[in-house]
C-alpha cells in the first residue's frame, strides 16, 4: 500500500473537490480524500502509484494533479486557476476581464488584430459608413418643403480616413489599453490548436511553437464571411464585407450577392453614397424574419433606385479585368464591383477540435449549452464560433457568463428576449417570436400591425415608411414578440424587449404612459389596436 499527496489545480469550490475525489476513487485500488481549502488530494494506492493514470482520471473533468509543492497552500494562496482564451474579440475580452476579477490567470491567444470582428471590420466601421450614407441621402431627399435638396459632394477617401481613425481609437481604448492595464491577462501571439483537452499548441510567426496547459479553455475565435459555391467565383477578386468597408473608392455599379443583414445594410449604404446597386437574393430579403419586414424593405429599396431581384440564384461569375458578369439563368448582371454577403462561417477549422473531443455542427460551429459549455466539461465557447446568434452583445454576455461558470459560479445565457436590429433605413428590429413561430409552437396567438402613418411622430417627421407589429397569446394577452420596420426601430424595440422579459400583457402596454411625440409611442398605439380603433383616438389619447 502506497501513500501519496498531490496538489490539485482547477478547483473553485467544495463541489469540485467532491468531483475530483469521485474520479480518483473510481480507479482500481485507489482511495482518495480531497480537500478544497488545502488544494490537495491524499491517496492510498494498492501498488506503485502512476501519476499519469491519476491525472488522466481527473483531467476530463477540468482538473489536474501535480507533485506536492514545498510550501503548503491555504485557501487564500492556492495556485490560481489557469484559463486560456483562443481569440481576442468581444467574447474573449468579456471572459478575460471577469475571470481575472475572480482571481484566475488568463492567457489570451491571438494571431491577428486585437479586438475581433466588431470593432475592426464589423459593427463599428459599418455603422459609421451607414450613418454617413444616411446624411448624404437626407441632403438629396429631405422631406421638408423649405429646405432645398442638394447633390452631396462625397469624398470617400476622407470618409474612410475618419471611419478608420474612430475604429483605431475604440480598439485602443476598449481592447489594447484594457489588456495593457490588467496584470492577470497575458497576450500570446500565435495560432492555437488543441493537442489534447487541456493542452494548446501555439504556432508563432517565427516558426517556433509553444505548448500551453490550462485548467479551463474558452474558444472565442469568431467567424469569417461564408463564400457560396458558384462556378467561377473562386477565381475572381470579389469583395466581402471586409473589403467593402475598407474601399477607398466608390464603385460605379455594385452587384451584391445575398439578402440577409450584411447584404441589405451595405447595399443601401453604397446606393446612398452614389453607386448603382443590384441586389441578388436567393429567396427574399431577411428571409428568416416575418415576411412583411423583407417585403416592405424591398419596396423602400426599389424607391431608392436599388434593383432588387428576389429568388435569384447565380450560376456563374466571370471577370474580364474590369467588369463582373453574374449569370442568372438566361440573364446577365454586369457591374464593376462584386460584393459577396451570404452569411458567415465559424473560425474553427484550424483548431483540431477532435483532439480535444469538442463537438461541432456540420458548419463547424461549436455546440454549447446554456452555460456555454461545449461537449467537454472544462472547455467553453462563446461568440460567432458557436451555434448562438451572431451579435456582439450576445458574444459579450456569453463571454462573461462563461467566465463565471469557469470560476465556480452558475450563470445561464437566456436568449428568449434577445432584440435584433438591422441598420437599414428604416431599421428592422425584432424581439421574441413571430406569428409563424407561435403557430409552430402550437401557441394560439393574436397580432396587430400598426402602419406608421398612425404614429404622430412619424407624421411630424414626414417619414411614415414602415410598421409596428405585436404578437400576443390570445388567452392571456401576454406579449410574445414584436416586429418593427421603422426609423429608430433599434431604439423602439428595446421597450418591447423589456416588456417581454417582464411578462407584460398587451393591456398593460396599452395602459403604460409613453412620451409624446416619440416613435416608441407606436408600441402603445399598436397595443391599443387590440381593443380600439386608433383612428378614433385623439393625439396622445390614454
Tell me the pLDDT tens digit for each residue of 44-55: 999 888 999 999
Would you say the CATH fold of 233-342 matches that of 2-76? no
Domain 420-536 grouped into CATH 3.90.550.10: no
Nearest to 356 by CA among 348, 221, 111: 348
Confidence of residue 182 (pLDDT cuts 50, 70, 90): very high
Specify whether the CB–CB gap between 344 and 390 falls below 8 A.
yes
Domain formed by 82-225+345-406, architecture: 3-Layer(bba) Sandwich (3.50)
Whole-number Å distance between alpha carbons of 493 and 482:
7
Q: What is the pLDDT of residue 258?
A: 98
Task: Write the burial class of residue 211 (CB in 10 Å: 0-12 exposed, 13-18 middle, 19+ buried).
Answer: exposed
Task: Write the burial class of residue 419 (CB in 10 Å: 0-12 exposed, 13-18 middle, 19+ buried).
Answer: buried
Task: Output DSSP code: residue 13.
Answer: S
Confidence of residue 293 (pLDDT cuts 50, 70, 90): very high
User: How many CA atoms, within 13 angstroms, populate the side-chain half-sphere of residue 413?
Assistant: 29
Enter the CATH code of domain 233-342. 3.50.50.60
Lowest mean per-residue pLDDT among 122-126, 383-387, 402-406, 536-540: 536-540
Whole-number Å distance between alpha carbons of 190 and 195:
15
Which residue did the predictor score with more confidence, 354 or 63?
354
* Interior/surface letters 170-188, b for 16+ CB within 10 angstroms, e for the rest: bbeebbeeebeeeebbebb
Whole-number Å distance between alpha carbons of 376 and 381:
10
- For the stretch 444-487, pLDDT in tens is 999 999 999 999 999 999 999 999 999 999 999 999 999 999 99
Give the SS3 label for residue 83. Answer: strand
**Strand pairing category for 82-86 and 216-219:** parallel
3-state secondary structure labels for all residues of 145-213:
CCCCCCCCCCCHHHHHHHHHHHHHHHHHHHHHHHHHHCCCEEEEECEEEEEECCEEEEECCCCCEEEEE
Helices and strands: H and E segment counts in the chain: 16, 26
- Other C-beta atoms lying within 10 Å of the C-beta of residue 69: 12
Length reported for the chain: 542
Specify whether the CB–CB gap between 324 and 236 falls below 8 A.
yes
**Location of C-alpha cell 409552430:** 440
**Residue ranges per domain, the chain?**
2-76, 82-225+345-406, 233-342, 420-536
Q: Is the predicted pLDDT of residue 76 greater than 70, yes or no?
A: no
Task: Output DSSP code: residue 403.
Answer: H
- Other C-beta atoms lying within 10 Å of the C-beta of residue 357: 14
* Cell output for 348: 474553427
Whole-number Å distance between alpha carbons of 296 and 520:
20
Specify whether the CB–CB gap between 5 and 40 falls below 8 A.
yes
- Other C-beta atoms lying within 10 Å of the C-beta of residue 156: 15
Q: Is the predicted pLDDT of residue 115 greater than 50, yes or no?
A: yes
- For the stretch 315-344, pLDDT in tens is 999 999 999 999 999 999 999 999 999 999
Lowest mean per-residue pLDDT among 12-21, 43-52, 422-431: 12-21
DSSP H or E stretch at residue 101:
helix 90-101
Catalytically active residues are 11, 13, 16, 63, 118, 123, 539-540
What integer is the mean pLDDT of 293-322? 98
Q: What is the pLDDT of residue 363?
A: 97
**Strand pairing category for 2-9 and 30-35:** unpaired
Which residues are registered as beta bridge partners of 108? Answer: 85, 187
Specify whether the CB–CB gap between 31 and 44 falls below 8 A.
yes
Q: Is the predicted pLDDT of residue 536 greater than 60, yes or no?
A: yes
* Cell output for 109: 491567444
DSSP H or E stretch at residue 22:
helix 14-25
Whole-number Å distance between alpha carbons of 24 and 66:
14
Torsion of CA 391, 393, 396, 402, to 10 degrees: -80
Confidence of residue 542 (pLDDT cuts 50, 70, 90): low
For domain 2-76, give the fold: Alpha-Beta Plaits (3.30.70)
- For the stretch 261-282, pLDDT in tens is 999 999 999 999 999 999 999 9
Specify whether the CB–CB gap between 35 and 73 falls below 8 A.
no
Give the SS3 label for residue 523. Answer: helix
> Rounded to two decimals, what is the model's pTM?
0.88
Cβ-based neighbours of 48, under 8 Å, separated by 6 or more: 2
Whole-number Å distance between alpha carbons of 125 and 79:
42
Amino acid at each position: 500500500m502506497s501513500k501519496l499527496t498531490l496538489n490539485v489545480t482547477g478547483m473553485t469550490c467544495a463541489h469540485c473537490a467532491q468531483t475530483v475525489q469521485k474520479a480518483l476513487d473510481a480507479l482500481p485500488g485507489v482511495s482518495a480524500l480531497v480537500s478544497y481549502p488545502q488544494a490537495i488530494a491524499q491517496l492510498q494506492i494498492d501498488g506503485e502509484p502512476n501519476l499519469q493514470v491519476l491525472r488522466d482520471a481527473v483531467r476530463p473533468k477540468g482538473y489536474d494533479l501535480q507533485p506536492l509543492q514545498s510550501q503548503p497552500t491555504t485557501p487564500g494562496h492556492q495556485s490560481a486557476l489557469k484559463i486560456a482564451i483562443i481569440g481576442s474579440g468581444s467574447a474573449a475580452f468579456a471572459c478575460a476581464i471577469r475571470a481575472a476579477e475572480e482571481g484566475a490567470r488568463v492567457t489570451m491567444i491571438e494571431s491577428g488584430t486585437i479586438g475581433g470582428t466588431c470593432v475592426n471590420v464589423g459593427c463599428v466601421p459599418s455603422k459609421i459608413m451607414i450613418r454617413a450614407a444616411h446624411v448624404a441621402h437626407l441632403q438629396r431627399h429631405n422631406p421638408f418643403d423649405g429646405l432645398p435638396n442638394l447633390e452631396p459632394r462625397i469624398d470617400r477617401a476622407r470618409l474612410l480616413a475618419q471611419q478608420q481613425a474612430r475604429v483605431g481609437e475604440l480598439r485602443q481604448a476598449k481592447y489594447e489599453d484594457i489588456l495593457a492595464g490588467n496584470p492577470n491577462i497575458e497576450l500570446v501571439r500565435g495560432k492555437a490548436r488543441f493537442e489534447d483537452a487541456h493542452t494548446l499548441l501555439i504556432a508563432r510567426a517565427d516558426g517556433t511553437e509553444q505548448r500551453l496547459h490550462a485548467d479551463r479553455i474558452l474558444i472565442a475565435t469568431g467567424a469569417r464571411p461564408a463564400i457560396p459555391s458558384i462556378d467561377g467565383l473562386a477565381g475572381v477578386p470579389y469583395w466581402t464585407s471586409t473589403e467593402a468597408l475598407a474601399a477607398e473608392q466608390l464603385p460605379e455599379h455594385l452587384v451584391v450577392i445575398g439578402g440577409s443583414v450584411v447584404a441589405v445594410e451595405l447595399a443601401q449604404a453604397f446606393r446612398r453614397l452614389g453607386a448603382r446597386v443590384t441586389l441578388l437574393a436567393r429567396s427574399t430579403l431577411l428571409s428568416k424574419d416575418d415576411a412583411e419586414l423583407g417585403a416592405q424593405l424591398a419596396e423602400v429599396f426599389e424607391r431608392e433606385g436599388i434593383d432588387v431581384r428576389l429568388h435569384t440564384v447565380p450560376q456563374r461569375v466571370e471577370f474580364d479585368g474590369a467588369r463582373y458578369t453574374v449569370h442568372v439563368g438566361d440573364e446577365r448582371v454586369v457591374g464593376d464591383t462584386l460584393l459577396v454577403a451570404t452569411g458567415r462561417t465559424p473560425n474553427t477549422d484550424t483548431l483540431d477540435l477532435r483532439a480535444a473531443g469538442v463537438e461541432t455542427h456540420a458548419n463547424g460551429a461549436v455546440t454549447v449549452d446554456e452555460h456555454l459549455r461545449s461537449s467537454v466539461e472544462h472547455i467553453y465557447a462563446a461568440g460567432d464560433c458557436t451555434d448562438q446568434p451572431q451579435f456582439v452583445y450576445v458574444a459579450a454576455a456569453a463571454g462573461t457568463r462563461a467566465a463565471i461558470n469557469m470560476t465556480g459560479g452558475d450563470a445561464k445565457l437566456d436568449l428568449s428576449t434577445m432584440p435584433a436590429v438591422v441598420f437599414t433605413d428604416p431599421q428592422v428590429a425584432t424581439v421574441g417570436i413571430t406569428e409563424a413561430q407561435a403557430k409552430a409552437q402550437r401557441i394560439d396567438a393574436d397580432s396587430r400591425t400598426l402602419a406608421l402613418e398612425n404614429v404622430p411622430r412619424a407624421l411630424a417627421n414626414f417619414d411614415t415608411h414602415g410598421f409596428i407589429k405585436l404578437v400576443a397569446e390570445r388567452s392571456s394577452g401576454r406579449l410574445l414578440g414584436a416586429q418593427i420596420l421603422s426609423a429608430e426601430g433599434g431604439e423602439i424595440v428595446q421597450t418591447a424587449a423589456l416588456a417581454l422579459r417582464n411578462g407584460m400583457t398587451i393591456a398593460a402596454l396599452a395602459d403604460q404612459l409613453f412620451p409624446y411625440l416619440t416613435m416608441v409611442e407606436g408600441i402603445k398605439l399598436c397595443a391599443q389596436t387590440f381593443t380600439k380603433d386608433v383612428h378614433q383616438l385623439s393625439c396622445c389619447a390614454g
